Amino acid sequence: MKNLSRYIAIGFTLLVLGALLYFFSNIVASVLIAWVLALIGQPMMRFFQAKIRIGRFKAGPSMSAILTLVCYFIVFILLIWMFVPLVVEQARNLSSIDYEAFGSALSEPISQINTQLVRLGLIEPGGSSEDQLALTLKEWFEPAKVGDFFGSILGAAGNFLFSLFTIVFIAFFFLKEHSLFGNFIVALSPNKYEKEIRGVLDTITRLLTRYFGGVLAQMTIITIFVSVLLGILGVKNALLIGFFAALINVIPYLGPIIGASFGLFITISSNLDLEFYNAMLPLLIKVICVFAAMQMLDNFLLQPYIFSNSVLAHPLEIFIIILMGAQVNGIVGMILAIPVYTVLRVIARSFLSEFKIVQKLTGRMAEEE
């Protein structure tokens, strides 16, 4: 009877905690983002505390946290300075494109595709894929919709600035007091499990710091790789394409396809005056080759290090977890799958180590220690 009451109390507590997390999901998201920024910023914190000395003055936790946040703001401003003009220019181009000309630029290959589809009986004779493409693009990128899109962005700017202030404020204290987040979690746990929970939090912090640092390095390498190669090959808007490819590559497996499609679309829309077979097609082939090379670099060098070595899990294990994340919550689930799985593995290793499946899944973590 005593055990039953205990389980009921635990269950009720978890339900209340889940309800609170759901109701205050925006605040929880801000805290988690701030925590991630604090994890990524720990190397900079250590650097500033060790290297910044002016006479007897030495950078303490507060000054190091401020300098780390200043570095974040510098990177953020540089990204805005580099990419916002390109995005605005491309949006202006999209809103003023003659989509009939867009269709005409692809008329010859589309006509051949249309002939093959008619021959296979997939479409009726007389249907024009060229007209359908022009109509679809016009519906997607008509000037009114592009204007509404940017209007909605401006309307959300106020909420973004407030969220940004909240995240920066919380991140400052997480950077200044490295154990603040862990102390809060420990305060919610029973005293007899305090040692185990602190060990869990230390391991989670170490693994996720390596993971997010690796993702940041991956984005930087992909941006430079794609931008430089496309620039050398004479493709317009190479920096914009490279940055978007790196950003969307955070989505496992699906991201590279979206990035390549974006690169092809921007290349076509920026070169509508070119003849397809003699000029446009070679340009598109160059873009495809660059993205193929980027995918090989990512698959064989970057991802094995980031997704496997950083969180100490087998690549096949990571692949299955990402698929499960996609099944649970689509793209967001794919992005969060690896960090969440890392947290669950560490918790299971500390509290459920007697189970054989847990021993198998956490074997590499034990080997590293």
Tell me if residue 53 falls in helix, strand or coil: strand
For position 61, what pLDDT does the model report?
82
* The amino acid at 353: S
For position 28, what pLDDT does the model report?
78
**CA nearest neighbour of 69 among 163, 159, 174:** 174
Measure the CA–CA gap between 44 and 38, rounded to whole angstroms. Answer: 10
The alpha-carbon radius of gyration of the chain (Å, integer) is 25
For position 363, what pLDDT does the model report?
67
Query: Do 214 and 310 form a contact (C-beta atoms < 8 A)?
Result: yes
For position 284, what pLDDT does the model report?
87
The CA distances from residue 213 to 62, 196, 263, in Å, are 22, 26, 26
Query: Do 146 and 91 form a contact (C-beta atoms < 8 A)?
Result: yes
Query: Do 342 and 306 form a contact (C-beta atoms < 8 A)?
Result: no
For position 164, what pLDDT does the model report?
80
Measure the CA–CA gap between 64 and 50, rounded to whole angstroms. Answer: 10
- Tens of each residue's pLDDT in the chain, 369 residues: 555 665 576 666 667 777 777 777 777 788 888 888 888 888 888 888 877 776 677 778 888 888 889 998 898 888 888 777 777 776 666 666 655 555 565 666 666 666 666 666 555 555 555 555 555 555 555 555 545 555 555 555 556 677 788 888 888 888 888 777 777 777 777 777 777 778 888 888 888 888 888 888 888 899 999 999 998 988 888 888 898 888 888 887 788 888 888 888 888 777 766 676 777 788 888 999 999 999 888 877 777 777 667 777 777 777 788 888 888 777 778 878 888 888 888 877 777 777 777 777 776 665 555
**CA nearest neighbour of 309 among 182, 226, 206:** 206
pTM of the model: 0.70
For position 55, what pLDDT does the model report?
64
For position 290, what pLDDT does the model report?
92
Measure the CA–CA gap between 266 and 89, rounded to whole angstroms. Answer: 12
What DSSP letter does each residue of 133-180 carry, written as one string? HHHHHHHHH-HHHHHHHHHHHHHTHHHHHHHHHHHHHHHHHHHHSTTH
The dihedral sign for the CA sequence 31, 33, 36, 42: negative
